[in-house]
Structure formats: C-alpha cells, structure tokens
Amino acid sequence: MASSQCCSNPPTLNPSSGTGHVENLGGLDSYVTGSPHSNLAVLLVSDIHGFEAPKLRKLADKVAAAGFFVVVPDFFNKDPYAPDDANRPFDDKGFEAAKPFLEALKSKGVSAIGAAGFCWGAKVVVELAKLPLIQAAVLCHPAVVTVDDFKEVKVPISILGAEIDQMCPPEVVKQFEDVLTAKPEVKSHVKIFPKVAHGWTVRYNVEDKAACKAAEEAHQDLLEWFLNHIKSLVKIFPEVEPEVRRDDEADCKVAEEANQDLVFVFVNSEEKKKKEIMASSECCSNPPALNPSSGSGHVEKLGGFDSYVTGSPDSKLAVLLVHDAFGYEAPKARMLADKIAAAGFIVVLPDFFNRDPFNGDLASIPVWIKAHAPDKTIEDAKLVIEALKSKGVSAIGAVGFCWGGKGVVELAKHDFIQAAVLCHPSFVTLDDIKAVKVPISVLGAEIDQLTPPEVVKQFEEVLTAKPEIKSHVKIFPKIAHGWTLRYNDEDEAAVKAAEEAHQDLLGWFLEHIK
C-alpha cells in the first residue's frame, strides 16, 4: 500500500500532455520526446501515478531539450494508482519489463542510457544500476529502496531526497550515502532538499514559488548528472592533420597588427581581390533565414541592446549567447537559447550588430567587419552583464560562435563571467587563451580554415599548462566551421554533431555556473 505522501497532490492525468508523442517500445506504450537521431537516451520511470502525469512529461521535454532521446514507459499498462483503490499493492516487476525496453532502445542505435526513478520508479532504476544495464542513475525521493541495494550499485548514481519523507527519511538517505562513500570506484552524489516533501520533483504545487524553485533545482541536478555521465561509448578523433583546401591560398596572407582587427592582406590583382575576402567562405556557408519572430522567448532591451530573452526570469543563473556574423535573429541560435533555458537558466542573445548583421555579400565583408570589430564586443557585453546583475543574476556563463568567440574570450580574461564556451571561434589567438581566468571549453571543427585543428591543439596545450583553470577542448571530426548553428537539417550526421556540441556546451555550464 502506498504511503499517504505518495498520493498527495496527485496529478490530473492527461494523455495529450507534453510536446512529444506516444509510441510502442519494447511492448510498452511510451511517451517519447527529443531527437530520434540522438544515441544518448534517458529513461524516466514514473511514480505510481504513471506516464500520463503532465509534470513528468514536462520534465522529459526539459531533459530532451539538452540533446537526449527521452522515454517514459507505461509500466502500469493503463492501470496507474487510483484513489478509490488505495489498498492496491504495487508489484516490483518493473525491472523485468525494463530490460526488453532497454533492448528496444539499443536496437534504435542508442549507445548510452541513463535512468531516473521517482518514488516507486526508483526501485526499478536501482535494480538496473546493479547489472549494469544503464550508464548512470538518479533516484528522486525513492521508495522501497534498501541499504543493501546500494551495496550492489555499479554505475554513477545520484540520490535526491526530501527533508519531509516518511518513505525514505533523511536518516535513511544518509545511510545510503555512507554505503556509497565507502565505494569510491562508483561515482555518487547525495542531496537532501530542505523543507520539501516526498514527491516534490513531479508533484509540486505550481502556486508555491518555493516548491517550484526546489523542483527546478532538482531537475537541474538530475540533468547535470546525466550530462556528466552519459557519454557516447565510442568516439574516434583523428590524430592526422586534415586536408584543408583553399583556392589560391598562396595569393593571400594573414597579418595581425598590434591593437587592430585581424585582416587579410591581398597581394594580387583587382580580380583576385573580388574573390578573396577577409573572412573565410566557411563563415558564410549555409546562411540562416533570419526570423525576428523565431523562438519561444521574447525581445526586450538589456543594457541598451535589443535582446532575445528566454527562460525563467526568476533564475539567478544566466547564459549570454554571442552570435556569429548573422546576428540574433537566426532561428537556430534562438532554438539553442531555448534549449539552454530549459535547463533552468535565463538566456540572453543580444543584437550586438544593432540591426546590421552580415547580409551575405562576400565582397562587403571588409567594410562590414570594420564596422563590427569583434574585439570591441566586450564593452557592449559588459553593459548586458550589468543589466542582468541588476535583475538579481548572480552567476553568468557566455558562449561565442565564430565572430562571437572573440568577445567571449575577452570576457573570460576578467571576472565578468564564471564560465566560457567557444564554438568554432574566429579571431582568437594563443595570447587570448593564455590570459583566460575562468573555466573554458573550446569546441572546434576538423574542417576549419579560420581556426584549424592544429591551432585548437595549441589552445589545448596552453590550457593544459594552466591546471588552475578548468578546461575542455574537443575537435569534432568530419564537420566544418559553423556547424553548431548552421547545420543542414537534411544531413543526419550534421544534426547529430550539432546536438552533441549543444550537449557538451550545456554540460559545461551546468557544471560551472553555480
């Protein structure tokens, strides 16, 4: 029989809730959300109220927004808990039903799986974690779980408990922690949330601001655990230098003058000048169709700049996106902003070009770049950061794409931000990297004329020599500069690489923006 806490604030079940859909997987009807191309999956095992609970599906959508393929099976086969049958026993067959379900996921190309269990579902997940059939586990206000269960766990596991919990009181959660601490080979995380009751992660009262905040914090912890511990099982990064082709490369050279923009010096005919332009053609490939109405957020003034804003206005944690040459109305940039916001951040994407993004005319680049010098972005960004802090934001991360990479690395030299990510950066030098003072991640492309792999590896060597600065450097194989925001939707491999980069980016911010 379920505890009264298991039944408090029951959800109004809605088979149409969520942005995903229902399909049959491994013999079970399942709510499915997220990219079907992702090879990283998260299994959510419901509490006794089942897979049609709207808040559970909302959480599934939030996890999916981080790049996972998320599934919520109906382990009760259309027979969840009903108040008029409160004495009904709940069996422990969920674990057996989960095994063919996991096989069905793997048959779709999924290579790594995490699982989160809520109340009743925690028992299923802890059993999976013993074999291991999954790569990471999260238990939220678990029920029917014992100390002996944790002695057998073999995968990274996080336990999120409640201070007010009859099913699994804090003193029991602390016993779980003692067992896990004695197993250093298994990564673990145990946290007891104060002033909340059993079930709070999926049955919080939306009118209770404190309860909502606690639930959001738990969701962020859960997502961060999965981002840190669910990885592709096989990654191949080429050691050889890629062949990079550039027509008439000998006809131009790069000169960097002190305190000036990075410019190309052309040394050939007027006809060559028209063909050879300041920025690589990679910067301009697959340009977006700008749309001022794109995204689920809104536009408002921040620090004097029109800015696309998305996410909870109550969040104390913010992420600043610094766009590439195409500006802040690019739909995929806004889509990524929405994805980051779903993890609990307030996200801002300012228009640093003041309605003058690059128009696609290659011959106009020298004039355009002179008007929009990337190394001057720091002064504009500081105004936006001050505006965020005036709204109560206490920690900020920043990510820059191509043109925006220079502005973000400049911010990272000071204490204006707490974490930085550079995606296929342009104009960034070794001296810039040497001056970085905050945790930084560099995501480069194998095919990149502006910042080729050998340059990215030099960045890595500089950062490795600075152990006091946490860093992460990754070169994505077989993709080109700009892929994180300007991938081709019809190219499955490109979409998959972009989603992987988005997941790396989000994981970095969840780890370092506190």
Give the lowest-confidence range in 80-89, 297-306, 493-502. 80-89
Check pLDDT > 50 for residue 416.
yes
Query: Pick from 53, 118, 117, 123: which is nearest to 91 by CA?
Result: 123
- Pairwise pLDDT comparison (321 vs 213), residue with the higher score: 321
The domains of the chain, with CATH numbers, are: 11-81+90-231 (3.40.50.1820), 293-512 (3.40.50.1820)
Mean pLDDT of the chain: 86
User: CB 257: neighbour CB atoms within 10 A?
Assistant: 9
Proportion of the chain above pLDDT 70, given as a percent: 86
DSSP H/E element including 60: helix 54-64
Q: For 499, what's the count of Cα atoms within 13 Å in the CB-facing half-sphere?
A: 25
Query: In this predicted model, what pLDDT tens digit does every residue of 206-237 receive, in sequence order?
Result: 888 888 999 999 998 999 899 889 875 433 33
- Pairwise pLDDT comparison (132 vs 169), residue with the higher score: 169
Interval 345-357 mean pLDDT: 95
- Pairwise pLDDT comparison (450 vs 282), residue with the higher score: 450
Confidence (pLDDT) at 13: 94
Query: Pick from 123, 170, 166: which is nearest to 144 by CA?
Result: 123
Interval 112-128 mean pLDDT: 96
Confidence (pLDDT) at 283: 66
Check pLDDT > 60 for residue 81.
yes
Proportion of the chain above pLDDT 90, given as a percent: 67
Confidence (pLDDT) at 85: 57
- The span from the CA of 294 to the CA of 200, in Å, is 33
Region class of 403: left (phi > 0), else alpha (psi between -120 and 50), else beta: alpha
Confidence (pLDDT) at 233: 45
Map residue 224 onto helix, strand or coil. helix
Query: In this predicted model, what pLDDT tens digit does every residue of 262-288 receive, in sequence order?
Result: 233 222 333 333 233 334 556 667 789
Query: In this predicted model, what pLDDT tens digit does every residue of 452-486 receive, in sequence order?
Result: 999 999 999 999 999 999 999 999 999 999 999 99
Q: How confident is the model at residue 6 (pLDDT cuts 50, 70, 90)?
A: low
Interval 63-69 mean pLDDT: 85
Confidence (pLDDT) at 491: 87
Check pLDDT > 50 for residue 245.
no
Map residue 387 onto helix, strand or coil. helix
Q: How confident is the model at residue 132 (pLDDT cuts 50, 70, 90)?
A: confident
Question: Which segments within 406-495 are labelled E, that is strand?
Answer: 419-423, 440-447, 471-480
Check pLDDT > 70 for residue 488.
yes
First-to-last alpha carbon distance for the chain, in angstroms, is 40
What are the backbone dihedrals phi and psi of residue 42, each rounded to the nearest 5 degrees, phi first?
-130, 130
Give the lowest-confidence range in 100-104, 133-137, 298-302. 100-104
